[in-house]
Chain A
Amino acid sequence: MEVSIQVPWQNILAITGPSGAGKTTLLKQIAGLMLPQSGKITFGSKTWLDSSAKKQLPVQQRNIGFVFQDYALFPHLTVRENLLFALPDSKDSDLADELLAATDLVQLASRKPFQLSGGQQQRVALARALVRKPDLLLLDEPLSALDFTMRKDLQDLLLQFHRRFQFTMIIVTHDVAEIFRMADKVAVMENGKMIQHGTPPEIYLNDAGDTNDLILYAEVLTSEIQNGEIRVRALVQGKIRELRLPVHFVQTLVPGTTFAFRYALNTAGVQIIDGNRPG
């Protein structure tokens, strides 16, 4: 693994790349849940890890929030108890109740996690991570299992919390639309190395300065192969559109996925922008 990156205070960094690229490993190393072979991690003025000085701050002292891919809610505790467990002092429950209200979970506060839908579980995981007022929020593909509308609602919620609590955020995601909506910078990883780093337009648009182009996001409704091309019915800007795309995108355009594409106004051409296949 070879990564060197700086994230400005209170910025949002997206990490993307194919499966097995080391995104989750990197996130867990930042959190202190995994130990890199060697390296240095600093947060503000604090050193979290310096393998040359054999210094390592335990995960418990890093004041982070971590949202896991499988949510990792404690099955034996209710929604509210999951939040209270996270508090340094469980008597100080005002923020927990405030977050339950903000994530629309008050009605479900006494339910156990298995009685919740995926989106509800994700909101609990997010609220639980925020209840300690972390300086750094790490999210490991938090929204990948949710459908399009729920994903968008949670992105809004995340951005709202980010503005309010002012933490730095690192999010692992495959979703290009999500990267464009949320991230200040994006790091592309492959085989344990960071191969690209920049703002989303710098990474995903070959000529970012071209203002005649529109970047649009679409959710795939149906896709079928016809005459050597894919015909995709997709929801674009709230309307159903039919797009014709080269057949090699068939893997990425299954119903339910979102993708970003560039619509060139001068040539009326469509170009797909995708994390795994730039350009």
Chain B
Amino acid sequence: MDWQPIWLTFRLATITSVILLGLAMPLAYWLAFGKFKGRGIIEAIIGMPLVLPPSVIGFYLLLAFSPSYWFGSWIESMFGLRLVFSFPGLVIASILYSLPFMVYPLRAGLQSLPASLREASYTLGKSKWETFYKILLPNCKPAILTAFVLTFAHTVGEFGVVLMIGGNIPGVTKVASVAIYNEVEALNYSAANLYAMVLFAITFVILLMVYSVNNRLLSVRQSS
């Protein structure tokens, strides 16, 4: 069996989740506590990947990334980077596609903390930034873990977007879900089954670990 698609899948999911965690934290904080107009528009845009068919997102990203259009050609001339049918393109597409899976749990986690925790920190002379990373983040570990795992799992399960903008290049864009599809197309069911089984098993083990850790985090807090 060719392990490359599996390896590629988990590399893509890890890179996407790590970058998204960094991007989503300030965004989640801003959505949770910011006072600004047009919040509804921002929320609607972030939530789009939840409801749109992946092929629609993939199609527009394909147009955007293509060097025949202005954004793709600008990226190419600016950074020498071609985003269609490439791994960096897959990472950017996955980040957009999985954004709500990271932002929403983080925002919910931040909002579930009592307002008095933030206020107490302010009255103790601490800035918003210090309050955020020393008080708020350590107290929403379960939400951070949930957000990370949801994003990771969602990226592992990605198919439509990858197929549209990544295609099927072995070692570059051929992830496990695409490989399964290829094997089924070729009526090669036993190979498809192997890929599927491996994905199934690894995903189950990851979720199992995460929920055990999460339950422990929560039970520590509730045992008072």
Contacts and interface: CB of A to CB of B under 8 A. Distances in A.
Interface of A: 28, 31-33, 59-61, 63-66, 68-70, 72-76, 85-86, 88, 113-115, 128-129, 132
B124 interface: yes
Q: How large is the interface on B (under 10, 10 to 19, 20 to 34, 35 or more residues)?
A: 10 to 19
Given A68-B116, A115-B224, A74 B123 contact: no
Given A72-B114, A114-B221, A115-B224, A66 B120 contact: yes
B18 interface: no
Nearest to A113: B224
A91 to B, nearest CB: 16
Given A64-B123, A66-B123, A132-B124, A76 B116 contact: no
Contact of A76 (B119, B122, B126, B138): B138
B135 interface: yes
B127 interface: yes
Interface in B111-153: 114, 116-117, 119-127, 134-135, 138-139
5 contacts: A28-B119, A33-B119, A72-B117, A85-B121, A128-B124
B212 interface: no
Interface of B: 114, 116-117, 119-127, 134-135, 138-139, 221, 223-224
Nearest to A64: B123
Given A60-B127, A70-B114, A85-B134, A75 B221 contact: yes
A63 B122 CA distance: 10
A135 B188 CA distance: 77
A146 B224 CA distance: 17
Nearest to A59: B122
